[in-house]
Every structure is written in C-alpha cells, then in structure tokens.
Amino acid sequence: MHKPRLQRLKWLFTDRPLFFITAATYRRRRLLDQPRVHEVFRSFCEKGPAHGVFVGRYVLMPDHLHCFVGVAPGGLSLSKWVQILKVTLAKSLREQGHEGPFWQKGFFDHVLRSGESYNRKWEYVRENPVRAGLVKQSADWPFQGEIHRLSIPDL
C-alpha cells in the first residue's frame, strides 16, 4: 500500500507565484556538495528564463537542495521544471561515476505569501550549513548563491 500523494494547488491568487522548493537525494546520499554539481545546477538555472522559470537564492546541501523559484505565466509548470532539474543533475552525477537512483520521489514546495516570508525563509535556509556543522559561518558555504533577483510584494 502506498500513501496517497499530495496534490499540487490547481490555482493561485497571483499569476507570478514565488515557490520555496526542497528536493532530497535518494536515501539522503551525499551527492550535491561538489563543485561540478554546483556548476551544472547554476548553468541549468541560468537558462530558466527561456522557459518562464526564474531561480533566486539557493543552497545545495550534501543530501538536499533548497531554492526559491518564480514561475511566469505560460512558463513550464513547477513539477516539470523540477523533473528536468533532477534529470539534468542525475546525468552529471552519472558522468562522474555515481550510480543511481539519485533522487527521492517528488519534492516539497511552498508558495511564499509576502516579502517578509521570503526573507525569513532565506535566513533559515542560509544557516543550514552552519546548523549541520559544515561551516562556522553561512557565508563560508561554497554551494549557495543567487541566480536572479526575485521579490514579491508584501501583502
């Protein structure tokens, strides 16, 4: 028996939602905290605007990633974008000699409702490497950054 999968929202109150995304590696394998994965992730995200997808701030942890994603009207669906991202990173990992599976099924997404929420979420996410004992200061974590400047109006 499988647990029922959560359904994505069918509609939103804005035509330009900002999502907070988390995707985890299969069995929480440590795969993502390496320069090549970071490079492939950034390259993939930099091409997003051609498909109506804009990635703001992000952190790649060893076994999961967090990012803020804006989706423009008529762009790829969030689910499709995450699927292509996972396939792209899996291909890079295979090329580096890793064996799959690489990703847990699905991903977590949360629609941000205000600029304050974005900033609060980012401060929490940015401190993940510190809480995990990977660095003493969040600025020292090399697998983070910002691709596009995203914002949402305060409600």
pLDDT in tens, 5-16: 544 444 444 567
Q: Which residue has the tokens 């995990």?
A: 132
Token pair belonging to 49: 């605007």
Domains detected in the chain:
18-146 (3.30.70.1290)
CA distance 2 to 58: 31
| Percent of residues, the chain, with pLDDT higher than 90 | 76
Token pair belonging to 82: 């995450």
For residue 24, is pLDDT > 50?
yes
- Give the residue from 62, 69, 73 showing the smallest Cα distance to 84: 69
CA distance 72 to 96: 33
- Residue 96 identity (one-letter amino acid): Q
- Give the residue from 13, 22, 23 showing the smallest Cα distance to 113: 13
